[in-house]
A = this chain, B = another copy of it.
Amino acid sequence: MKLIETEAELRETLSQMGRKEKSVGLVPTMGCLHEGHLSLIRRAKQHNDIVVVSVFVNPAQFGPGEDFEKYPRNIEKDCELAESAGADIVFHPDAANIYAPDASTKVEVEGEITHKLCGVARPIHFKGVATVVSILFNIVQPDRAYFGQKDAQQAVVIKRMVRDLHIPVEIVVCPIVREADGLALSSRNRYLSGEERKEAVSLSRGLEAAVECFSTGAGSRNAFSLKKVITDEISKKQLAKIEYVEIVDAETLADTSFIEPDRPALAAVAVRFGNTRLIDNKILRDRG
């Protein structure tokens, strides 16, 4: 496996690997790889000749006061893990290699889908994500790119961007990987204290309770009732501060007060433990 740090070297290497006759899968990450990322890499390896894992902590998607500086970085460990999961190339550019000093071009998915849910607390986040993903797509020119369902809103935004801009990349969204007790894997879980870690299980428990209520209970298509089920579970925890609990259309992210029988639906939450912000979601009904 090769560790590559510049765009020129990446293009040259892909060319030498005969990329014109091969399929390329891209797994964009911010590093600090865990089993969730590795599941994306394995899936990419199944369906592509060449797998590129990008490791880039993108400054443009962090707002002021967010954890850009302290975000965990460990490229040696990331390379080991990526290789073990089947990566052919880890692309680890410097920020100066991605953004010119006077770079001013942004890709923005406008409207509700980037301004609700995580967009409320993180108003510039999805603009930073859409821009850097566009850049990575232009550099790597993959046939397929892999994203985790953990960042459900990000996946919807990227799919919308790809559709709107006619980007010739297939977007593959892979299931959330969870700890034994249900906590969704996240690089930010390591910020949690022992007590916070215990309480953090309430996110997946609350979501699971909503799934059960939706699939079995009476009144289960009422979004208000489902949100209450989730909120009740999380609110029991002393250190948990709910940022949002929402039931939305899984494709458009439109609010829904009563889940339509023919639409995919998603329950999504964001909860703060101290300075640590966790998100999680479960699909209530999948797309047909």
Interface residue from B109, B139, B163, B165 paired with A166 (Cβ < 8 Å):
B139
Whether B100 pairs with A163 at a CB distance below 8 angstroms is yes
Which B residues touch A20, using CB under 8 A? 20
Interface presence of A121 (CB below 8 A): no
Number of copies: 2
Whether A103 pairs with B139 at a CB distance below 8 angstroms is no
Q: When chains A and B are docked, how far (Å) is the Cα of A104 from the Cα of B111?
A: 7
Q: When chains A and B are docked, how far (Å) is the Cα of A163 from the Cα of B20?
A: 23
Interface presence of A141 (CB below 8 A): yes
A-B contact pairs, 23 of them (CB 8 A): A7-B166, A20-B20, A99-B164, A100-B163, A104-B109, A104-B110, A105-B109, A105-B110, A105-B130, A105-B160, A105-B161, A106-B108, A107-B107, A107-B165, A108-B108, A134-B165, A135-B165, A135-B166, A138-B165, A138-B166, A138-B168, A139-B166, A141-B168
Q: When chains A and B are docked, how far (Å) is the Cα of A107 from the Cα of B109?
A: 9
Which B residues touch A103, using CB under 8 A? 163-164
Interface presence of A113 (CB below 8 A): yes
Which B residues touch A95, using CB under 8 A? none
Q: With A20-B20, A135-B166, A141-B168 as given contacts, are A160 and B113 in contact (CB-CB < 8 Å)?
A: no
Those of A106-158 within 8 Å (CB) of chain B: 106-111, 113, 130-131, 134-135, 138-139, 141
Q: When chains A and B are docked, how far (Å) is the Cα of A111 from the Cα of B131?
A: 16
Q: When chains A and B are docked, how far (Å) is the Cα of A189 from the Cα of B111?
A: 38
Chain B residue nearest to A132 (CB atoms) is: B165
A105-B160, A135-B166 known; 19 new pairs, CB 8 Å cut-off, are A98-B166, A99-B164, A103-B164, A104-B109, A104-B111, A104-B164, A105-B109, A105-B110, A105-B161, A105-B165, A106-B108, A107-B107, A107-B165, A108-B108, A135-B165, A138-B165, A138-B167, A139-B166, A141-B168
Q: Which of A99, A109, A134, A161 has the most CB of B within 10 A?
A: A134
Chain B residue nearest to A141 (CB atoms) is: B168
Q: With A7-B166, A141-B168 as given contacts, are A106 and B100 in contact (CB-CB < 8 Å)?
A: no
Interface residue from B104, B131, B161, B166 paired with A160 (Cβ < 8 Å):
B104
Chain B residue nearest to A21 (CB atoms) is: B20
